[in-house]
Structure 1
Amino acid sequence: MASQKKQAHLLGFIQHGVNSHATGMWRHPKDKVNWDWSRPPYWQHMARTMERGLFDAMFIADELAPYNNYEKSSDACVKYAVQCPTHEPSTLVPIITTATKHLGVGVTLSTAFEHPYSMVRRLSSLDHLSDGRIAWNIVSSYSKSEWDAYGAEMSDRGHRYERMEEYMELCYQLWDSWAPDAIIADKDSGIFADPAKVKEINFEGEFFRSKGRSFCYRSPQGRPVLWQAGSSDRGRDFAAKHAEAIFAVHPNVDRMRQYSDDLNQRLVKTFNRPPGSVKLIYGLQCIVGESRAHAQEKYEQIRANIPLEGALAWISGHFGPDFSTYDLDEYVQNIEIPGIQGLFESIIYAKGGDPITVKEAALYYAMGMGMPITVGTASDIADTLEYYMDEGGADGFMLVATYTPGCFEEFVDLVVPELQRRGRYRTTYPGTTLRENLLAD
């Protein structure tokens, strides 16, 4: 019966900027009509729309500086609004959570240039202010532009994971330093908190040192929901060890199933965690129309807004090489890639493993960061979501934006009711914290 089948989890994937992950959307005639993305009402409206659709969270991606690989400059990113300008993600949290009651917020924050002590303080503060609706997408800065902007020498991937492991260990100690009953608040005695129940951390590691107590008392979730997007072998281990939910981009159902099986095997065999205990959320771009022809027309219009040079600048930033130095007809399979391995795989398998040219790769990636694209009616899209859950092992979907806020309004108005009719989506929020809602079956 349909009621016995897995129900989908949904999240809206955006950035705190003029353009998210569909390059050129600021040009679209339906993009941000009467909205200013740098002002609170736009974000509050998007948040309320997602909450109306019973989404788990708005998930805010981030990048710390404009990509500067393409032609050894960030000119193309500035010129074509390739994830630029982008404002700081955690500043949106109070704006979003005061406009909603249930919607969580996932913030992408890099471990590369911030000490764990201040990271814990910021995330705990946001968890308090949101009444327990925060997730942290743990990343280690991968692009040269970020390291350049912070005046640092870029470290190799293996070194970054060793450092992140130690980073997390210190974060855990700080989050757990306040016992749940540490605060007494006895006005007669004048004792506010019991020092014996607020542990002083004395951490001496290879990369970090910290001596002191966390300045924030225990927040509603204790610690934020921990999110990861590891796709390399080392990244998958890190995700299987630490994450409560994983965001992955795979171009087809076979790759999704391989990833699902691999992650669950690592969970159980390597880290002794229960199978299925980490939610697997796969990226997806949905273009819904009143008819298939209408949806296809919308798809063509979205694709027509992509500037080729901006698309090349984006894949240069994500993957490392300067794609201005390659022939547009060269096959990307022949190019050495130091950047985000998992996302590059989404390009390699975009045509089922057939060769894909630099030009094809850039335009495909610029559409929605290499995520599979489903185009059709609400019924068609619901069919696809069910297929990815039942055959690909997906627990839910990260819905990448096209034009905003319209793409989310259309999904909530058309696709959500169809999923509910099929018994594949909730009709109410099951809990009050993000962890309760996200980890619910």
Structure 2
Amino acid sequence: MPADKGKKKAHLLGFMQNGFNSHATGMWRHPRDKVNWDYGHYDYWQHIARVLERGLFDAIFIADQLAPYSTYQGSSDASVKYAVQFPCNEPSTIVPAIATATERLGIGVTLSTAFEHPYSMCRRLSTLDYQSKGRIAWNIVNSFSHGEWSAYGVEHRDRGDRYERLEEYMEVCYALWDSWEDGAIIADKAAGIYGDPAKIHEVDFKGKYFRCKARHFVPPSPQGRPVLWQAGSSDRGRDFAAKHAEAVFAVHPTIARMQEYSTDLERRATEKFGREPGSIKRIYGLQTVVGETRAQAEEKFERIKECIPLEGALAWISGHFGIDFSQYSLDENVANIQVPGIQGLFESILYAKDGAPVTVKEAALTYAQGMGMPVAVGTAADIVDQMEVYLDEGGADGFMLATTFTPGCYEEFVDWVVPELQRRGRYREQYSGTTLRDHLLEY
């Protein structure tokens, strides 16, 4: 079948953590997970990055949390016992290793604004973006879990003002990133003049939450500033994403939820914040299990689900949603439970069965499989069939591909699924630019 050049093409990103076990709880038990690889060594990350670049992915996206989940039974014991995203290294430390092993692959890092001043945040991000020649994205997050706040010895702030604080945080970041004008670097050896002080402006910011009086310490990268990524799904989170994000990561288990989110985000961006239509790329979470036959893929998926420990799954949803699920019956309908944590992701659980009641046990096991993302199981053709529906009917611009066993799940996707996407005209044949923003704006 000839490729239809009028079809929407997909953006692809790999979704991982810089840790022992990412977003499929218990996957470290899988016989094909990290065979002869150590997650803490650069060669593991460089191999995965090369695989993703061979598959022409936009980026690898590194998720994070700042401390072990400790909400379940008031302790992090279960997180330790079942390797629930434990242990986990700091995300930006692997950026140089990935950047030096690749030439085009973008690198998204999740960095929290909760305990770091915007000046040091901008300096670190601008350094990474400059060194990688413009391939960095920042996933902007506020820390949310009890374990994170306890680790930093800070009383949990009122959630009611967190977006007001975050808006001011971004004001400081923009002021710093925009403070270098074109032509600021003169580098005249004969005259001994390096920079033009009139074109490298001093930021003097005095706000309710932050103060900053300094020049930005790092020159602009080829893309000027990192790509801004966001994953807010609550009402206020959607407003923040609609105002600031160049791309969003969202988890929706059904076409109807994807459609609602896509339409709502576009309306907010254009009507409320005056942005151009299509300014925000919508990247939806997806987990894939590919086989040479549908039966083989389904058998592989069963092996994956068998690795999930129920108590570990309960520890994860407790940590993510800020409530101790050990106090509820496993048969309790989760719709009856109020959660203080990430409401947008909690909705992915509420709608996991397309409106039918979901028990605490079902919610935990579904979430532990891959954060409630839809799962595509089958041959490469089956998986692309499902992806096309999400592209054409769900409003997706691309997919954040959650891991199962690594690095094999990405090797199989690149070898089997990418060629099928290309055959149908749904994916790039080569990179057309050099920066991550180039990739996102390519189509």
TM-score bucket (shorter structure) = over 0.9
SS in 2 for 1:398: strand
Residue in structure 2 matched with residue 437 of structure 1 by the alignment: 439
SS in 2 for 1:151: coil
Residue in structure 2 matched with residue 209 of structure 1 by the alignment: 211
Aligned residue runs from structure 1 range 356-371, under 5 A: 356-371=358-373
Aligned residue runs from structure 1 range 181-330, under 5 A: 181-330=183-332
Letter in 2 for 1:211: K
Q: How far is 1:180 from its partner?
A: 2.3
Aligned residue runs from structure 1 range 89-128, under 5 A: 89-128=91-130
SS in 1 for 2:212: strand
Q: Is the 8 A contact 1:268 1:275 kept in 2?
A: yes
> Bigger CA drift: 212-221 or 364-373?
212-221
Q: How far is 1:374 from its partner?
A: 1.0
In structure 1, how many angstroms separate the alpha carbons of the residues matched to 2:404 and 2:341? 24
* TM-score of the superposed pair, with normalisation by structure 1: 0.99
Q: How far is 1:2 from its partner?
A: 2.3
Unaligned runs of 5+ in 1: none
CA displacement 1:21-57 (0-9 Å, x = unmatched): 0000101000001111111110000000000000000
Q: Is the 8 A contact 1:288 1:376 kept in 2?
A: yes
Letter in 1 for 2:398: G
SS in 2 for 1:4: coil
Q: CA RMSD in A?
A: 0.7
Residue in structure 1 matched with residue 381 of structure 2 by the alignment: 379
Residue in structure 2 matched with residue 408 of structure 1 by the alignment: 410
In structure 1, how many angstroms separate the alpha carbons of the residues matched to 2:127 and 2:112? 17
Aligned counterpart for 2:340 among listed residues 338, 341, 353: 338
Residue in structure 2 matched with residue 59 of structure 1 by the alignment: 61
In structure 1, how many angstroms separate the alpha carbons of the residues matched to 2:166 and 2:362? 35
Q: How far is 1:169 from its partner?
A: 0.4
CA displacement 1:387-437 (0-9 Å, x = unmatched): 000000000000000000000000000000000000000000111000000
Residue in structure 1 matched with residue 11 of structure 2 by the alignment: 9
Letter in 2 for 1:410: E
SS in 2 for 1:3: coil
CA displacement 1:196-255 (0-9 Å, x = unmatched): 001011100000000110111122211100000010000000000000000000001110
Q: How far is 1:157 from its partner?
A: 2.5
Q: How far is 1:106 from its partner?
A: 0.2
Residue in structure 1 matched with residue 21 of structure 2 by the alignment: 19
Q: How far is 1:156 from its partner?
A: 2.6
CA displacement 1:66-90 (0-9 Å, x = unmatched): 0100000000001100001000000
Aligned counterpart for 1:141 among listed residues 143, 146, 151: 143
> Bigger CA drift: 12-21 or 209-218?
209-218
In structure 2, how many angstroms separate the alpha carbons of the residues matched to 1:3 and 1:383? 17
Q: Is the 8 A contact 1:329 1:357 kept in 2?
A: yes
In structure 2, how many angstroms separate the alpha carbons of the residues matched to 1:262 and 1:101? 36
Aligned pairs, number: 441
Q: How far is 1:6 from its partner?
A: 0.7
Q: How far is 1:439 from its partner?
A: 2.0
Runs of 4+ in 1 over 2 A off after TM superposition: none
In structure 2, how many angstroms separate the alpha carbons of the residues matched to 1:35 and 1:439? 35
CA displacement 1:343-388 (0-9 Å, x = unmatched): 1000000011111110010000000011001111000000011000
Residue in structure 2 matched with residue 168 of structure 1 by the alignment: 170
Q: Is the 8 A contact 2:297 2:379 kept in 1?
A: yes
In structure 1, how many angstroms separate the alpha carbons of the residues matched to 2:336 and 2:89? 35
The alignment-based identity, stated in percent, is: 71
Q: How far is 1:158 from its partner?
A: 2.6
Q: Is the 8 A contact 1:179 1:218 kept in 2?
A: no
